[in-house]
Amino acid sequence: MTDRILTTRMEAHPADSHTMSRYEATGGYTALRKALGMKPEEIVAEVKASNLRGRGGAGFPTGVKWGFLAPARPRYLVINADESEPGTFKDRQLLERDPHQMIEGAIISAFALAVNHAFVFIRGEYSRSARRVQQAVDEAYAVGYLGRDILGSGFALDVTVHLGAGAYICGEETAMLNALEGKRGEPRIKPPFPAVAGLYAKPTIVNNVETISNIPWIITNGGAAYDAIGPEGSRGTRLLSLSGHVVKPGNYEIVMGMSWRDLIYGVGGGIRSGKGLKCWIPGGASAPWFTPEVLDEPVTLDDIARLGSMAGSGAVVVMDETTNVVAAALSIVRFFAHESCGQCTPCREGTTWLQRILERVLAGRGRPADLDLLLDVCDNISPGLRWPPAMTTICPLGPSAVSPITSIMQHFRDEVAAMIPGGVTAGV
């Protein structure tokens, strides 16, 4: 039973897991050789059969996305290494500790998709990651895994490492494409989707770092072998970023299906200083929060969705019983207000208003009407306050800012009210 795919090399060889020599010595680039002997459509079929789902946040099936690619040429592959969802640091580890795994996955994917130019869009703050990836790209060019006529196959691929410059929204795939085209990183209205009209209006696939890093294993072992790992709907392993008030924060590659209790108290070592658990965010700052009554529910994509949240980017942020939930929600709302690109009024204005209201509540200057006002503003951003959220905006950033508010109002409304002068008598 395989329980790890992505992190075995870095674990076994911490001193040089990022180098070409170590990567090749541990089986690296054999999947590429195998893939170059396959037909491109056979590779796509293996990825479809694996039921690999995207690891960037939306969880869309990778093979299905690849299947949408329009026939026009040239086509592009963009690897989304703009990891910025608060709480998430898994891709940084993959970029810094095993960059060749991602590059081999990129070459195989490009061959399967008839792409001759791939971009790795790495956030500007990940300067060390970008250096590691560039070093690995240079090594790959030097031995003929990149460039013209790769391993005598006639297939050519160039990889450009592109540094972002501090805008979370560029992690949204169409914003990323605009940034790569030299425009402001503002999301585009979809459709058309990138697979039809992406970079330079050409067919483009945008995949996350972790997603692409799974490709070599799938080609080596077959899609069916990958599909045999983990519960249905959450196949393969998943790299979870555990942070906040846990004893042992870190990235953990797990097979999904364990309970939240096993994840937080087993893997994470429990809550610091023996404190009690108050709540946690199951999938990055955009996700609605969970409270201890669901501790024994399984950690899978579908179960998290069933309970009204999302696995998102795999970031689990744990809060202990002493946490001021208004201050925590404000931290998240401030993030979205700061990162709103400003195109859509509900997001641009709404996130700012949510921030202002929470700030005055936190400062003890809240008004009793603020309890309802918070939800009213949320309703204007995402009508009905449903999950998954209804959209009034081009991209999901605005609705994401609603999650922390609805979470604290659903689970901790009396705590919020208690911070407002006259709030308890007025509104609970």
User: Among residue numbers 253 through 292, which ones bind another protein (CB under 8 A)?
Assistant: 281, 285
Query: Is 407 a binder of another protein (CB under 8 A)?
Result: no
Closest CA to 178 of 34, 394, 335: 394
Separation CA 106–CA 115 (nearest Å): 10
Task: Name the burial class of residue 73, with classes exposed (0-12), middle (13-18) and buried (19+) by CB atoms within 10 angstroms of its CB.
Answer: exposed
Task: Considering the complex, state which of residue 219 and residue 330 has its C-beta at the smaller distance from another protein.
Answer: 330
Separation CA 374–CA 377 (nearest Å): 5
Residues 6+ apart with CB under 8 A from 87: 241, 243, 244, 281, 284, 285, 313, 315, 316, 317
Collapsing DSSP states into helix, strand and coil, what is residue 251?
A: strand
Residues, the chain: 428
Query: Is 72 a binder of another protein (CB under 8 A)?
Result: no
Q: Which residues of 149-166 are buried (b: 16+ CB within 10 A; e: fewer)?
A: ebeeeebebebebbbbee
Query: Is 161 a binder of another protein (CB under 8 A)?
Result: yes
Q: Which of 146, 215, 317, 401 binds another protein (CB under 8 A)?
A: 317
Task: Considering the complex, state which of residue 46 and residue 253 has its C-beta at the smaller distance from another protein.
Answer: 253
Closest CA to 100 of 225, 6, 240: 6
Q: Which of 99, 245, 264, 407 binds another protein (CB under 8 A)?
A: 245
Single out the segment in contact with another protein by CB under 8 A; choices: 166-174, 227-235, 362-370, 408-416.
166-174
Query: Is 168 a binder of another protein (CB under 8 A)?
Result: yes
Task: Considering the complex, state which of residue 269 and residue 427 has its C-beta at the smaller distance from another protein.
Answer: 269
Query: Is 66 a binder of another protein (CB under 8 A)?
Result: no
User: Residue 97: which H helix or E strand, with range?
Assistant: helix 90-97
Tokens of 284: 């990055």
- Sketch the per residue contact string, 205 through 244, with another protein: x for CB under 8 A, - otherwise: ------------------------------------xxxx
Residues of span 97-156 touching another protein by CB under 8 A: 97, 117, 123-128, 130-132, 134
Task: Considering the complex, state which of residue 47 and residue 79 has its C-beta at the smaller distance from another protein.
Answer: 79
Query: Is 164 a binder of another protein (CB under 8 A)?
Result: yes
Smallest gap from Cβ 427 to another protein, in A, equals: 27
Task: Considering the complex, state which of residue 35 and residue 354 has its C-beta at the smaller distance from another protein.
Answer: 354
Smallest gap from Cβ 204 to another protein, in A, equals: 12
Collapsing DSSP states into helix, strand and coil, what is residue 60?
A: coil
Separation CA 100–CA 106 (nearest Å): 9
